[in-house]
Amino acid sequence: MEREMLNINGNLVGEIKTTAIDTKEGEKEVANFTIVRKNKEEGKVKKEYIYCNLYGEKGKSVKEFKSGEYIHIFGYFKETKKEDKTFKNFIVKHINKIKKEEKEEEI
């Protein structure tokens, strides 16, 4: 099954939570966070909140990120079904902070 890889820019919401999980390969660090991006639809600005998971060593590099900072993420969406509910998470493969000057140039 081929995954659609996506680039998303948005602002970090709240704080990044890090924890360790046990996997077949041993203990792995995971960082969980949410970003918000604004989309224009039918003349209105709508906010989309995206729950993100970042696994491995890269999780350590995001600990200093602060709420409100503009970031770029690259990865794919993963759906998980539990009972009658479907959960959609974004699995992050790459993340970096976008400097304020870069953000202003994009607009």
pLDDT in tens, the chain (107 residues): 578 999 999 999 999 999 988 888 888 899 999 999 988 888 888 899 999 999 988 887 888 899 999 999 999 999 888 888 888 899 999 999 998 655 554 54
pLDDT attached to residue 1: 54
pLDDT attached to residue 107: 44
Quote the CA–CA distance of 75 and 77 in Å, as a whole number. 7
Q: Which domains does the chain have, with CATH numbers?
A: 6-106 (2.40.50.140)
Whether residue 11 contacts residue 35, with contact meaning beta carbons closer than 8 Å, is answered with yes
Name the pTM for this structure: 0.80
